Amino acid sequence: MSVSTAVSSDVTSDVAVIGAGIIGLSAAHHLARQGFTVTVYESGRPGYGQSAGESRIFRHAHDDPRLVALAVRAREQWREWSDEVGTPLISADGAVALGPAVPERSTILQQQGVAVEKLDPSALRDVLPILREPDDTGCGGSAMFDGSAMFDTAAMLDVDGGSIDTRSAITWLADRFADVTVGEQVIALHHSENGVTVRTPTTVGNHGAAVICAGRGTAALARGVGLSVPVQLGAHVRVSFAVRDTGIRMPTVQDGSGVFGARGVYAAVYPDRSGYGLGMAGSVDAHDDGAIDDGAGLADLAGAAAEYVAAALPGLDPTPRDVVHCWVTSLPWGDDGMAIWRSGPIVAFAGHNLFKHAPLIGQTLADTVRSGQVPAAFAPEARLGAAD
């Protein structure tokens, strides 16, 4: 995978896509399929900003039923992408959820036709063999785990969920657009007579339209063209742990139960099964300019992840192996919130927890460019992904 820096100071195409994470690359993919010529702008290594890491969770379960319906459509596109890449991009392990939100989410999933299995303690241990058994109090479990509590914890398996092979997806998409990727930071963009002008340190790009999906940089670039994108910045950490037995089933996990002393835990297995990336729901606040006052808070979150593994997951080595730091770009109405803004030929997208929906989001952004209209479900006032 390579990134080319434009030789000429003039870059011309139908659409500029600013940001080469999974959302930008998906948008470029769908734009190209619709016949648009595309230029991708990315100052770093494609897919190593908010899309960094070896794996992510694909899950259908959300509090907003609209996101469940979108996930169903996205899952089918992930199957199509897998066929094009020639390798499964989502593992066949499924996605396990634990905690009080399970019954309501299970009902929503079944209403949307998603295959869900209720898990009693025995079935849970069969599906998730790395989990501590109720009568096992070793490795620090006695201090944090009341074995009997597991029998009162709701659990379900999202059958068609699983771990996303993020690197294969990113590499496939980035390679497709390597020859039209400008490896420089976008300094500014503005409306021009024929569309949009994009300025980098050494290039001036002239395009018919532009899509801004630059993660933490989206709000600033959008503000320059009169769009107010209310992104709330933070930083997050995921820690990976070695898997003791790589031959066992390894579904993704979302644990909101508190049984093991923590809530809002999530995890996904590496494509080669050697590691399990796990994070806590918390994040460290950042200022609008990206400054972080509490950098040490990221170390605290990493430490909490290791404590959880020691208490709950004896199938993992609790010694941290790899770490991924990434920005959190949430919208005011919820952690899963997302929306599209538009000013003439310039479209901006923002949200959080987006990887699983990426194929569908990319298609929606391409459709927005083509039609000149933001779909009603993605308009900010629709509050897509709202927790209430």
CA angle 343-346-350, nearest 5°? 90
| The Cα angle at residue 196 between residues 178 and 329, in degrees rounded to 5 | 70
In angstroms, the CA 363 to CA 31 distance is 8
Q: Residue 246's CB: how many other CB atoms inside 10 A?
A: 13
What is the residue type of 375?
Answer: P
Full pLDDT tens readout for the chain, 388 residues: 434 444 345 779 999 999 999 999 999 999 999 999 999 999 999 999 999 999 999 999 999 999 999 999 999 999 999 999 999 999 999 999 999 999 999 999 999 999 999 999 889 989 999 998 765 554 443 333 444 455 568 999 999 999 999 999 999 999 999 999 999 999 999 999 889 999 999 999 999 999 999 999 999 999 999 999 999 999 999 999 999 999 999 999 999 999 888 889 999 999 999 999 999 988 999 999 999 999 999 999 999 999 999 999 999 999 999 999 999 999 999 999 999 999 999 999 999 999 999 999 999 999 999 999 999 999 999 999 997 7
Q: Which helix (H) or strand (E) holds 166?
A: helix 166-176
Q: Which fold has domain 10-51+167-230+333-382?
A: FAD/NAD(P)-binding domain (3.50.50)
Q: How far apart are CA 343 and CA 228, in angstroms?
A: 10
* Rounded distance between C-alpha atoms, residue 162 and residue 84, angstroms: 19
Please give the biggest Cα pair distance in the chain.
Answer: 71
How far is the C-alpha of 206 from the C-alpha of 240, rounded, in Å? 42
- Six-digit token pair at 179? 């020859």
Fold equal for 10-51+167-230+333-382 and 56-164+232-330: no
Domain boundaries, the chain: 10-51+167-230+333-382, 56-164+232-330
6: DSSP letter: P
Tokens 């730091």 -> residue: 325
Phi, psi of 110 (to 5 degrees): -65, -35
Count Cβ atoms below 10 Å from residue 388 Cβ, excluding itself: 7
Instruction: List, in sequence order, every beta strand (DSSP E) within 30-148.
Output: 38-41, 55-58, 95-98, 116-118
**SS3 (DSSP) at 382:** helix
- Centre a 10 Å sphere on the Cβ of residue 369 and count the other Cβ atoms it contains: 23
Answer positive or negative: Cα dihedral of 328, 333, 335, 339.
Answer: negative
Please give the pLDDT value at position 6: 40
347 to each of 181, 220, 256, 370, how far by Cα in Å? 19, 13, 35, 11
Domain spanning 56-164+232-330: CATH 3.40.50.9100: no
Burial 122-145 (b: 16+ CB within 10 A, else e): eebbebbebbbebeebeebbeebb
